[in-house]
Structure 1
Amino acid sequence: MLGPVVRAGLPRARVEVATIRGAQWARTDREAALVVCLAVQQRLVHPARLLAAWAEVRGGRRHRVLDAVIRDVCDGAHSLGELDLSRMCRRAGLPAPDRQVVRRAPGGRLYLDAVWDDVGLVVEVDGAHHLLALAPVDDALRANEVVIGGERVLRLPVLALRLDPARCLDQVARARAALLARAAA
């Protein structure tokens, strides 16, 4: 059995343990990744507690997949699209971006999905919620603040990552290369 049971009130597993169990019991690897993403994204579990609980797990269903997912999520990836981008960059030999990087702007703090500070490149992975109501306005104004601060922003709709991952990765790689060349000149 994974982890102790909380006995105060109804007996139950701690949130980090329940997250891991839910991911192990999911029907598919993507559903397992979603369980982990949502638990951290919604702040139900702190990444450090999830990592500590995961360190106690030996083997089990999807161990290899969950090891990569949990490490990525605890390192800052908060959506399946961000996980996909990280995996694609690793496979292509690109350096891993910093994730959920905080920038200050006149309106407050901005959280950026993927940042390569060495070249000033920001990649935002836009899920479906970025198309709802006023989200496009907020996204545009946020991207403008980042550009005003001196960085370049690429926006990748999550649908593009699913339908044409090679083209998305090519754009990230070319942007990095162009910014590296510009910095060297």
Structure 2
Amino acid sequence: MLAAAGITRHDVRYQVKGGRWRPYGQQTVAVHNGPLGLAARRWAAVFETGATIAAIDGVTALQHAGLTGYEDDQIHISAVHNHNTDRLSGVTTHKVIRRVSGELGLGGLPHPCPEVAAIRAAHWARSDRQAALILLMTVQQRLTTPARLAVAQRVVRGRTRRSFIRSVVRDIAFGVQSLGELDFARLCRSRGLPEPSRQVVRQTPGGRIYLDVAWDGHDLVVEIDGAQHRWGTAVTFDNLRQNDVALSGDRVLRIDVIGLRLETDRFLDQVERGLADRRFDV
């Protein structure tokens, strides 16, 4: 870019030697001597990788698109060739075999669309749970839709946890709204329990409410409680809601997300007993 502006290597060396400019890696020069901001560091990562083959990707691309609440200090770059790209500290480069058709936005910092970035981030995550969280947050924050995420999952190739990501995207497409619901859906499936309906709408004297999961014909509802259910007046509203559901004839089982992890079998035993109390067709 400097060359296109008519600035020669000699000019760059002169400015750097004079302390007015500062080099970053082999391809990047800051035309000041202060620290680089976040956007500049992302550009530097792209330049050092190779502007014709690289793009910010994964969590970094999602953060660029507006993702909040997910911490990752690394700058993630994807490159379509096996290039020696780890030239800057704080930059992680991932090789991709090929780009998805039309994945990169036009103009500005090269980056894929959020659904493609989310699938790649899930493949690159350190754990299954982290991968699931990234996928859920991308949809929860409306950076993409479940339908677009499902399409991206079919076309973005990854080397890790393919089956897991496919199952998570399927659950999201069927209406799972939280990580607790996602865990619960997988655990029910592993037990061979019938598939519940998710985000069921009920009209009660207290107004319209949304239930996490329910089994039609069993009069059984399960509410998955995250940490926010213990804050402030949340307990009061949960109690009112549960009472309305119980008075309408449904049995309500409450499972907190920590308990689901620590006492998995005991909670699922209760769900199984609740379902066994009603005749159902699998």
Q: TM-score, normalised by structure 1?
A: 0.89
Gap regions ≥5 residues in structure 1: none
Which residue, out of 84, 99, 108, partners 2:183? 84
Equivalent residue, structure 2, for 1:123: 222
Secondary structure (helix, strand or coil) at the match of 1:102 reads strand
User: How many Å apart are 1:14 and its aligned residue?
Assistant: 1.4
2:153 is equivalent to residue 54 of structure 1: yes
1:123, 1:155 within 8 Å by CA — same for their partners in 2? yes
For 1:59 and 1:25, the matched residues in 2 are separated by 9
RMSD (Å) for aligned C-alpha atoms: 1.8
Equivalent residue, structure 2, for 1:99: 198
2:281 is equivalent to residue 179 of structure 1: no
For 1:9 and 1:59, the matched residues in 2 are separated by 26
Number of residue pairs matched by the alignment: 181
Equivalent residue, structure 1, for 2:71: none
Q: TM-score, normalised by structure 2?
A: 0.60
1:38, 1:78 within 8 Å by CA — same for their partners in 2? no
1:102, 1:111 within 8 Å by CA — same for their partners in 2? yes
- The 3 A distance-change label for structure 1 pair 46 and 162 is same
User: How many Å apart are 1:166 and its aligned residue?
Assistant: 0.3
For 1:27 and 1:2, the matched residues in 2 are separated by 24
The one-letter amino acid of 1:123's match is V
Secondary structure (helix, strand or coil) at the match of 1:129 reads helix
Structure whose residues are more often helix by fraction = 1
Gap regions ≥5 residues in structure 2: 1-98
Structure number with greater Rg is 2
- The 3 A distance-change label for structure 1 pair 70 and 144 is same
Secondary structure (helix, strand or coil) at the match of 2:278 reads helix
Equivalent residue, structure 2, for 1:22: 121
Which residue, out of 163, 167, 171, partners 2:266? 167
User: How many Å apart are 1:46 and its aligned residue?
Assistant: 1.3
Equivalent residue, structure 1, for 2:167: 68
Identity of aligned residues (%): 51
For 2:167 and 2:185, the matched residues in 1 are separated by 10
The one-letter amino acid of 1:84's match is D
Cα deviation per residue 1:155-175 (whole Å; 9 max; x = unaligned)? Answer: 001111111100000000001
Equivalent residue, structure 2, for 1:156: 255
For 1:129 and 1:96, the matched residues in 2 are separated by 26
